[in-house]
Amino acid sequence: MDSTATIALVIALFIIMTGMGLSLTIDDFKRVLKYPVAIFVGFTNQIILLPIIGYVLIVIFKVDANIAMGTLILAACPGGSTSNLITHLAKGDTALSVSLTAINSLITIITIPLIVNFGLLEFMSENAQITAPIGKIAGSLLVVIALPLTIGMLIKKYSSSFADKMDKPVRVASTLVLVMVIIGIMVKEKANLADYFEKALYIAISLNLITMLIGFISARFSKLNFRQALSISIESGNQNGTLAIHVAVISLASPEFAIVAAVYSLIMYPTAVIPIIIGNKRAKKELELSKVTG
């Protein structure tokens, strides 16, 4: 990928994470003490189960090394700001979603390099002797996660009205830049695009739907309420595709690893309609019931 597209990708991710910071306060991190079970279930799904599910799907679909690496990188990423928006539209527990996104984003600064290193040793050793630059990846993630989150939170703390005004423009700007980056990847990989897309589509859809389902089931099994379970389901099944593309393109200099994340970023919006419909139907029923009993 050329330098212009690389810079655009960094800018897109920086804007997205700053935008996330604009909606965060210290209370979002303190919520881990208030709702320990919900946070633990969300953490377990995203940090532990997702990479395992990703690996199992790689084995089941028998994909090539590039798709395998792309899947594992994507599965290692936390939820993005999109998951918070979808949770809000689905009438889930938005505060829980925001807390999980924030906490897991910081934790993955440590876990992503380790999972990427495992993937390279597992899937790429036959093609080339590659070792993940763990320090470089961790440093890069600090710059594109921790730094913009901190900047956004400081703006929120000292200029709340400005943060609220910037929320929508930041979301729109980051989406436009992400679309341009995805188009750039597609153009660069156009020779292999049809083959990659066919191989990546089924595994991306499977990862998305299965993780949403397991997230919901595990939350209900842990006796969390419906809104919390819906939030964990969405948080588990909607990964930060921009971050995955960043790791593939910039940290590893392997745009071919970004195809799964690019495809995933396109399909997760249509599948998000499922929890939105379910959540709104549930909210409507609860409202009607409260009117009857009230």
User: Is residue 153 helix, strand or coil?
Assistant: helix
- Residue 269 class from Cβ within 10 Å (0-12 exposed, 13-18 middle, 19+ buried)? exposed
Q: How far, in Å, are 30, 49, 129, 156 from residue 246 at the CA level?
A: 29, 22, 22, 26
Distance CA 215, CA 235 (A): 8
Domain boundaries, the chain: 3-293
Distance CA 106, CA 102 (A): 7
Contact between 214 and 73 under an 8 Å Cβ cutoff? The reply is no
Quick one: CATH architecture of 3-293? Up-down Bundle (1.20)
Q: Which tokens hold the place of 23?
A: 């909606």
Q: Which of 114, 142, 120, 105 is nearest to 70 (CA)?
A: 120
Q: Which residues pair with 79 in a beta bridge?
A: 239
Q: Which of 196, 212, 210 is nearest to 42 (CA)?
A: 212
* Amino acid identity for residue 92 in this structure: G
User: Is residue 239 helix, strand or coil?
Assistant: strand
Per residue of the chain (294 residues), give pLDDT as tens.
555 666 766 777 787 778 777 877 777 777 767 888 999 999 999 999 999 999 999 999 999 899 999 999 999 998 877 787 788 788 888 788 888 888 888 888 889 999 998 998 888 865 544 555 667 777 777 777 788 888 888 888 888 888 878 877 876 776 676 667 667 666 665 666 677 677 788 999 999 999 999 999 999 999 999 999 999 999 999 888 888 888 888 888 888 898 899 888 878 888 888 998 999 999 888 877 776 665
